Chains A and B, each alone.
Chain A
Amino acid sequence: MTRPITLTVAALGGQGGGVVTDWLVLTARSADYLAQATSVPGVAQRTGATIYYLEFFPRSALRDGREPVMALMPSPGDVDIVVASELLEAGRAINRGLVTPERTTLIASTHRDYTIGEKSSLGDGRASETELLAGAASAAARLVTFDMAAVAERAGGRISAVIFGAIAGSGVLPWETRHFQAAIRESGVGVEASLLAFEAGRVAAAAAKAGTGVKPASTAGNTAFAVSARLADDLTARIAGEFPSPLHELLTRAVARLVDYQDARYAGLYLDRIADMLRREPRPNESTRLTEVVARSLALWMSFEDVMRVAQVKTRAGRFEQIRAEVRAAPTDLVRVNEFVKPQVEEICATLPAALGRRLLASPRASRFLSRFTSGRRVCTSSISGFLSLRVLASLRRLRRGTLRYVTENARIEQWLSQIRGLAGSDYALAVEVAECQNLVKGYGSTHERGWRSFGEICALAEGLVGSGRGAQQVRALREAALSDDSGAKLAAAIANLRLAGSA
């Protein structure tokens, strides 16, 4: 006996799941199917996860004018089609059991719309896309996936129309393209744009189904690597001559960054430090893991974000064009760019020659005087005066080596490197973990201070963990604790635990 076709749309509030639902009802009607649709919008409309559910039944299968009893909600094992407007929502539908290998076609967009929890992480809190895609592949009978947000972007339409096109293109509903198109026309709002996006979605889904879909662009780290032509020859030669080839890409990036940040001499200092670390590798032919981690971390640390660096980035040639593209300015539009800066007394002092900076910081009167200049201000970099003032600041980087900030950071770097060097011989894994701790120090102002405090506490503790065999694991746990809230409470608790375990 004919059963209703069951379809669930798992979407985010504001993505247009309701529009897709309305279109599907109209499509069914024009294809001579009965349709029932329902939803639980409620407060979930406000950016939360939301579910729509539809059932379709062919009028041709009706018996003596009696209508089928249609369900109002999706049940595990009873869903033919699950449409997820975002990858995590596909994962949620899978975990709810709505996608079953016996019957469910999963049509999902592979783009991510991060949740507040993922976004708020102090590090990288994103759910694993690999796991989500693998889960989708194992749960669904048939899988149609592509990046619907990107397709919508290219087509200049909304993702709802692309989703609708994907449903049509997947071929899981027994209706013709014209039925779907008729629904868009009938609904009557933004018809032309929707039809274009619909078509783009339909084609992409058909391609994805046929296995000819365009593979998502691989991440930058995997792309074929070309040595930048702008690197000074002697630096390039040093990298090639002194370091094993697996490190070449990383070092070239790092050196390019540091030349841009300061100068070739500075990049040379970096290579000296890395070369020294390479010499400490106990088995350099098997693994250069420590050197790798230090190379990446040191490059970031040596290019710490001081006032000059920020000014440099904000006055780069090409930045205005980049911003124009990012904010989607039309060719005829003009774009003004405003920066939000709020220098702190500490930052002002850090930019001064070390001795002067220290003296001013130590003097309450001087601090009070300087605090007059710390109100938040907006600098318009697309105005002459705004740009000029930032350019002047950026050019001060030639004097960077004398600033209080540089002297401080350089001493900290030396101390960190020396600790790693010391550990490399006695507890290699622990040395790697201490090197990774550089990731704790980031941000500006109080954020930076907090990171530095956590870093200091963990590095100090690391010394006491040498040789216990679990030192590396414990430092990693501490680092994760430090990154799991910004009040420092988790780290304090983790440290207390560690001390307790140590004394027991």
Chain B
Amino acid sequence: MAERSFAKEVESLRLGAGELFEGEGILAVTKALLQSGVGYVGGYQGAPVSHLMDVLADATDIMGELGVHFESSANEATAAAMLAASVNYPIRGAVTWKSTVGTNVASDALSNLASAGVVGGALIVLGEDYGEGASIMQERTHAFAMKSQIWLLDPRPNLPCLVQAVEQGFELSEASNTPVMLMMRIRACHVVGRFRTKDNRRPPFTLRQAMDHPTRTFDRIILPPSTYAQERAKIEQRWPAAEKFIRERGMNEFFADGKADIGIVLQGGLYNTVLRTLERLGLADVFGESQIPLYVLNATYPLLGEEFVRFATGKRAILIVEEGQPEFIEQAASLFLRKADLQTRIVGKGPLPMAGEYTGAVLFAGLRQFLGEYGFLPEQAKPLLPATQLIRNVPLRPSGLCTGCPERPLFASMKLLARELGPMQVSADIGCHSFATLPPFDIGGSIMGYGLGAASGASFNIPNERRALSLMGDGGFWHNGLTSGIGNAVFNQHDGVTIIVDNGYSAATGGQYIPSSSAEVKNRHARNRIETAVRGVGVEWVRTIRTYDMRQAMSVLKEALQTRFVGPKIIIAEGECQLNRQRRIAPLLKKLVGQGKRVVRERFGVDADVCTGDHSCVRLSGCPSLTIKTHPDPLRRDPVAYVDNSCVGCGVCGEVAHAAVLCPSFYRADIIQNPSGWDRFVHALRMGIIRLLGGRAAPAPERL
């Protein structure tokens, strides 16, 4: 089960013509796919489009009714390759992933798809993970569109525009025989709004028809001489066809043209921020009525030279608002205007920064400079508040492992082992375990991509006393790590150690199921064991550990690092994602307690009078529920460790106290709810005797 259930929301996917849809942007896109008669859908989860995958998974029944095939792809390359169904058949297909990371993975298939061309509309919905809240390196999807000749849509971020972009995207794809990318920024994915729905459409041409009546054309195969013909077709037919469609359908929008002798060219996705900025500068009203001409690029690739020339003609200058680097649009605009011999000045990067998200503050500063320079701010607008640091010390709050996370004891074990054996060379990977690279663990020196943990340790393969370690998650393992990391290590006789963190889900992206999930998954075949797969590609040394058992973890790790066995050593570190576990068992336990059944709840605590406030425990755990508070004894000034009520009793505090020989401050309380008669009898007996034994014990000196 994914982190968020959309079971309730997906009902809105059934809405018919003229009804009002209210909800998240990403859900609206799903509805738009169904309205467009999509035939098949795939993708790989990752913020900000994880919800799209979750919605689709929860909507499997609805899609089944419409005859739409959906699958959770193994990775983005798989998803992109799925679009091959639209190469030879007039079936609309859509796939989704996080960009640019997912686009990187999908690139091979995307290049081939773009070269072959499509007859059925092929739409790629991309969550552009750029700016605040992004979890990946900062790059633009734009470059992929340019290199492969895939069209790129960047619509205005409101629900009607997003829905329209999906519908037009399919049409554009079909009109130009080219796949189309629909790029959505993080906030647009999560924006809550409204639009009027249409009826869902069954795919007019079905997968069954295709399978029963297969067709093929050699022109579509990626082999010479077709590839040469395909390149020419891109330039001679598909590109012009796309330009024609974009122009004739008015996909790009002009506002307030003629109202001033300057103008602003902007990516559609930035429309709301630009308009708000103009409104704050007194040059637009709240309804978007601008006094400055705007040219809104809802399609950012291909760009239409004639539209640029038309917009620039008669203007002193145009400002190009283009987020990210390098400035592709600005470069193209310069070429268009130069070739048309127009002297309109092009302003862009300069007043606006080359790198980083175009936030309200950034656009406010940039637009003010541009508009001021051309005399459109009569009185100098109120200066922005200086970015004062009113408060000197506001510590960062990085993401971290959740309360009770099974990965915490693994990294604590590694940290403790490093104290004994010295620092280790560790290649990290992408997933929740990436947080091991942050305090308090500081484990891992590089992250090269999802599932590439073992691969990024491939160089460290020479005969040596000290072995290199690499980490990989179960998500990354199935994504590609089995071949790129483990298979590679077997084939090249890698002598290192790879730890595969098996928490049962693709946890970091929101707890989606993966092939080794231990649950019974509807419509999927799960419970495929990682150990079987690893042995299947030829690994001989495999150990499975329970992460919460730190003694075992440390001894197996040590064995792996010191054994005489030469070849890859794989440790599968098991422990169910606590977030998912709690979601699974908390309601169950609550129900049992409600029914009067005996339930034992465990949680940890700290004896404040034993804790001396050194916080070693925190430095070995970092659990959100293990925190600090002012020491109840005023003689002590340092805060005391304290376990708050979010503790789920995972046991790590006790394990760490033992393994690290920390201190005897911790206690574990077993809270027996609905105790049996025998429980009560034994308890009363014990407490009675203890009271006798402790009767003369002095109580704590009163807190004075």
Contact = CB atoms under 8 A, between A and B. Distances in A.
B61 interface: no
Contact of A486 (B388, B619, B638, B695): B619
A78 B390 contact: no
Contacts of B703: 220
A317 B701 contact: no
Contacts of A181: none
Given A220-B632, A310-B610, A38 B669 contact: no
Contact of B276 (A78, A220, A300, A337): A78
Interface stretch (A275-283, A324-332, A472-480): A324-332
Contact of B636 (A2, A3, A300, A341): A300
Interface of A is mostly: mixed
B525 interface: no
A203 interface: no
Interface stretch (B453-461, B471-479, B482-490, B622-630): B622-630
A226 B704 contact: yes
Contacts of A249: 704
Given A40-B186, A42-B129, A326-B605, A316 B700 contact: yes
Interface residues of A, number: 139
B638 A124 contact: yes
Given A95-B389, A221-B634, A335-B670, A75 B272 contact: no
B272 to A, nearest CB: 5
A374 B676 CA distance: 36
Interface in A18-63: 21, 25, 29, 35-51, 53, 57, 63
Contact of B663 (A36, A95, A328, A444): A444
Nearest to A24: B192
A317 B395 contact: no
B372 interface: no
Contacts, number: 374
Contacts of A139: 390
Contact of B704 (A252, A344, A444): A252
A70 B384 CA distance: 21
B146 interface: no
A333 B395 contact: no
A376 interface: yes
Interface in A215-251: 219-221, 225-226, 228, 230, 249-250
Nearest to B392: A131
B385 A313 contact: no
Contacts of B389: 95
B679 A334 contact: yes
Interface string B590-626: 0000000000000101010110111110110010101
B627 A114 contact: yes
Interface stretch (A169-177, A253-261, A363-371): A253-261
Interface of A: 1-4, 12-14, 21, 25, 29, 35-51, 53, 57, 63, 66-78, 88-89, 91-92, 94-95, 97, 100, 113-124, 126-128, 131-132, 135, 138-139, 219-221, 225-226, 228, 230, 249-250, 252-254, 256-257, 259-260, 296, 299-300, 305, 309-310, 312-320, 323, 326-330, 332-342, 344, 376, 378, 381-384, 387-388, 391, 394, 439, 442-447, 451, 486
Interface of B: 22, 47-48, 129, 132-135, 157, 186-188, 190-193, 271-273, 275-277, 279-280, 285-288, 359-361, 364, 384-385, 387-402, 432, 435, 438-440, 508, 603, 605, 607, 609-610, 612-616, 618-619, 622, 624, 626-628, 630, 632-639, 645, 653-654, 657-659, 661-664, 666-675, 679-680, 683, 686-687, 689-690, 693-695, 697-704
Which 5 residue pairs across A and B have the least CB separation, nearest first?
A75-B360, A40-B133, A376-B658, A442-B612, A48-B399
Given A323-B605, A391-B694, 18 more contacts: A39-B187, A40-B187, A42-B134, A44-B133, A67-B287, A115-B395, A139-B390, A230-B701, A312-B697, A313-B607, A313-B609, A314-B667, A318-B700, A336-B670, A338-B669, A340-B666, A342-B657, A439-B638
